[in-house]
Chains A and B, each alone.
Chain A
Amino acid sequence: MGALQNNTQLRFLTCGSVDDGKSTLIGRLLHDAHLILDDQSQSLEADSKRFGTVKDGIDYALLVDGLEAEREQGITIDVAYRYFQTPKRSFIVADTPGHEQYTRNMATGASTAELAVILVDARKGLLTQTRRHSFIAHLLGIRHVLLCVNKMDLVDYAEDVFAAIERDYLAFAAALDFESVSAVPVSALNGDNVTAKSGQMPWFNGKCVLDFLETVQVGAGKDSAGARLPVQWVCRPDGDFRGFAGNVSGAALRPGDAVVIEPDGAPTSIQSIETYDGNLDVAVPGQAVTLTLADDVDVARGDVIRHADSPTQTSDQVQAHLIWMSPQAMIPGRQYEIKIAAASARAWVSDLRYAINVNTLEHVAQKTLSLNDVGVCNLSFDRRLAVDAYKACPRTGAFILIDRETNETVGAGMIDFALRRSLNLTRQKLSLDKEVRSESLRQKPAVLWFTGLSGAGKSTVANIVDQKLHLAGRHTYMLDGDNVRHGLNRDLGFTDADRVENIRRIAEVAKLFVDAGMIVLVSAISPFRSDRDMARDLMQPGEFFEIHVDASLETCEQRDPKGLYARARRGEIANFTGISSPYEVPKAAELRIDTDAVDPESAADMIIKLLDKR
């Protein structure tokens, strides 16, 4: 009992497909270590009769497969976590599905694991999936591998079969720079070499699975990057106390240590390390503490307090490995919410360099990433963030991407390194700025962004507004989506990826005109909300007016001024907005004009009124 209170923790991942006997191994481990309780054992017997895949026996897989669909279909869909304790260690086991379509689930299980148990069927040797699992474990930074060569009973416990598989694996794994790789021959079904050495394989000199797991050293918590504390929470119970709460990572921190607040770079030192149990002389990696600082510096959630001797890589551009987790493809240029330690920002892939075939590790040229794809990309943020290479510090090197519309977690990634390019390329300071230019034009610059279905009346209304503004002495310019596609965007088509790029270029051109002091009228279908938001974010607050020119699809089809709807209905035009490609209705447009109800002249007056109200 006393031992259990002070035992250490090991988090490991098991991978391999159903056929490899992965769940059977865990079930056997729990059973033979007497960690399955009587009532669980009774319901396991009942479940084995009902759903079991083992003839006349106990199906240990049912211990771990918890969801109804999994039990009915006899497969593991999601990551399951199992817990068991021995006097030496407490174990947290992530059990993950092995099929290729569940790469994201395996990555999820691997993200918190310190060791991977990889199963191989002794009759089959290394398979594509063995390589895939090993690669994903390596990608997520797992440094230790236990290769379990299972079903030894079916190859007569032959030493040479085991030795050949071990040799093949070591040769393959050499490229993945694991710190340690160990192999053990087992029969999970019969319990050979699981919790005790097997009499069937006297030739094997190593440890059985449980013995290995109880004694392996994984060196948890030490990172080469050094000490950091990403600030989660600013603690201000009263006017006097100001503390910064978070978990220490990488290396220890002590009172008096010189630290720097990133990304701003303000230097200070640690005054005290506060906890509920009193102040500490040292805070070790993983520990949750609250720091007070010697100077009154500005610190907010998302900032990183780092040791003065251990710089972070602070940048607004990084190269990263990205695992895509959503059925909606990743499109370069599209904006996502990034979460990295406690910091959030907007992020987009500025360049998808290549995708990696997880089975062959070959590099593949791709324009987008689909569900379960792994890619290497350049990622840009809308502000500078304090980050590290994932290998040097997982806590500040790992990130997730969240879709800003659906709030789904769509991607997960690991930073390779910060790109210095953005730091060297300083923006040219213009001596004549926007204020000066717009003053001489005697107007405030603006973007009137007309969005809506083809045929809704965007260009008609925009043209009238343009003429009226011109007559009133304003300086305007019109960017019409169709016209721009004949010139600047001649190289772009109508796939989702090309549409995003089309809008990005139009938005950047509009920004140049705004810098010149002009009022820009943009008329473009711009069907995706995230792209219109991206355009809005390029401008100063109050400069961007989103005008939703709204008409029902029926009305637009009836008008069909260019005969496009008829052609789209006949299947002659692919990806036509409203027919075969979605239009995302604005949620917070400055103005909505229902052209079913309002005539173009009145609509134009409404827009000019809106502009004059500023």
Chain B
Amino acid sequence: MNVAAMNSLNNLQRLESDSIHILREVAACFERPVLMYSIGKDSSVLLHLAMKAFHPAKPPFPLLHVDTTWKFREMIEFRDHRARELGLDLIVHINEDGVKRGVSPFTSGATIHTDVMKTEALKQALSLHKVDCAIGGARRDEEKSRAKERVMSFRDANHVWNPRQQRPELWDLYNCRVGPGESVRAFPLSNWTEADVWHYIRAENIPVVPLYYAAERPVVERGGQLIMADDDRLELQPGEEIRTEKIRFRTLGCYPLTAAVRSDAADLDAVIAETLSSRRSEREGRIIDFDQSASMEKKKREGYF
């Protein structure tokens, strides 16, 4: 962003510079960092910031995607295209043990599917690649327990987060020291809001998965929510039928666990206008959050991102 005309930074410029600072600290202080690339809008911003932070060099760490095998097909295409286009290393990790056991969001339920294919898979990947810092796109405004998490969030050798024993974090002086087997999850977007993310995407012209824009797509209505029929693994229950509706997504995850919203917002400006006037928070479309009260804090303590 061009600030030549100004003598101080505006909100988005401050957020950008602070995030770049965090990414550079990670690169300088850790031996084997990875950038957790989950293909959503926050990841797209994170990746863009990483390209900026190390310019004219490439980011000095690979991308890691934990693939639950249930992501939208368009997400996977977008992921492979972006990594190729930017010339970055992409590690894709699937929990093969979970695949063998036939774990799926339909037969196993949202909680078990997420535990095995996401949380377990993530721990496997981090241990396998001896990752000492995993950079993620989580924001503090997403959810209450995230609001208290550090930018550099320490995990013990079992990947466990202890919310009552967090390291004090002052100024932008990040403690990056870990012992053998221990690691840190770094969250450069901690201070961004959903609105900041969208405004930045527009200001910087950052590509995002087309699923964020409204289009005619095949859906079924299930439990009051719209689920997209992304492939033939979605089995219809009695009384259900697939119909075509103009929908889009506010967040992206596993297609059976991510509810769509009816919308006419087919381009970026329309999406921003809709987001800002929305009376519902974005995580409402995430089915796993509603399993139990304080569910995110519990998942995070167990090692979920």
Contacts and interface: CB of A to CB of B under 8 A. Distances in A.
A409 B167 contact: yes
Nearest to A43: B293
B52 interface: yes
B6 to A, nearest CB: 7
A491 interface: no
Interface stretch (A64-72, A263-271, A462-470, A504-512): A64-72
Nearest to B165: A408
Interface centre among B4, B18, B21, B166, by most chain A C-beta atoms within 10 angstroms, is: B21
Nearest to B193: A83
Contacts of B3: 280, 282, 284, 287
A1 B163 contact: no
A407 interface: yes
A80 B8 contact: no
Contacts of A5: 10, 12, 199, 202-203
A37 B147 contact: no
Contacts of B177: 337, 402, 407
Nearest to A92: B191
Contacts of B202: 5
A77 B199 contact: no
B273 to A, nearest CB: 7
Given A287-B17, A288-B17, A37 B179 contact: no
B11 A7 contact: yes
Interface of A: 1, 4-9, 37-40, 64, 66-69, 71, 77-83, 85, 89-90, 92, 104-105, 107-108, 111-112, 220-221, 232-233, 235-237, 241, 243, 245-247, 252, 274-277, 280-282, 284-288, 290, 301, 325, 337, 339-342, 394-395, 398-400, 402, 407-409, 412
A247 B199 contact: no
B101 interface: no
Given A245-B24, A398-B171, A79 B148 contact: yes
Nearest to B20: A288
B80 interface: no
A325 to B, nearest CB: 5
Nearest to A248: B17
Contacts of B233: none
B58 interface: yes
B27 interface: yes
A111 B17 contact: no
Interface centre among B16, B56, B144, B168 (most CB of A within 10 A): B168
Contacts of B284: 39
Contacts of A77: 164
Given A1-B272, A400-B173, 6 more contacts: A67-B297, A92-B191, A247-B17, A287-B9, A288-B17, A407-B177
B24 A275 contact: no
B32 interface: no
Q: Interface centre among B14, B272, B284, by most A CB within 10 Å?
A: B14
B170 interface: yes
B56 A66 contact: no
Contacts of B278: 37
Contacts of B112: none
B247 to A, nearest CB: 19
A66 B280 contact: no
Nearest to B48: A276
A220 B18 CA distance: 14
B111 interface: no
Given A5-B199, A221-B8, A277 B148 contact: no
A521 B122 CA distance: 52
B54 A233 contact: yes
Contacts of A286: 8-9, 13-14, 17-18
Interface-central residue, B18, B24, B52, B190, by most chain A CB under 10 Å? B24
B169 A108 contact: yes
A270 to B, nearest CB: 15
B55 A108 contact: no
Contact of B279 (A38, A81, A237, A246): A38
Contact of A252 (B7, B57, B167, B279): B7
Interface in B145-192: 145-148, 163-164, 166-173, 175, 177-179, 190-191
B53 interface: yes
B16 A288 contact: yes
Most central of A39, A402, A409 by chain B CB within 10 Å: A409
A395 to B, nearest CB: 8
B120 interface: no
Residue of A7, A233, A235, A236 contacting most chain B CB atoms (<10 Å)? A233
B236 interface: no
A169 to B, nearest CB: 26
B170 A83 contact: no
B12 to A, nearest CB: 7
Interface in B275-302: 276, 278-281, 284, 294, 297
Given A37-B279, A83-B141, A247-B21, A399 B7 contact: no
Nearest to B192: A83
A235 B14 contact: no
B168 A104 contact: yes
B2 interface: yes
B92 interface: no
Nearest to B58: A237
A515 B189 CA distance: 53
A233 B280 CA distance: 41
A284 B9 contact: yes
B87 to A, nearest CB: 12
Given A79-B148, A232-B25, A288-B16, A67 B53 contact: no
Nearest to A78: B148
B175 A85 contact: no
Given A9-B14, A275-B52, A287-B17, A235 B9 contact: no
A89 B179 CA distance: 41
B186 to A, nearest CB: 14
B196 interface: yes
Contact of A8 (B7, B10, B199): B10
A9 B13 CA distance: 10
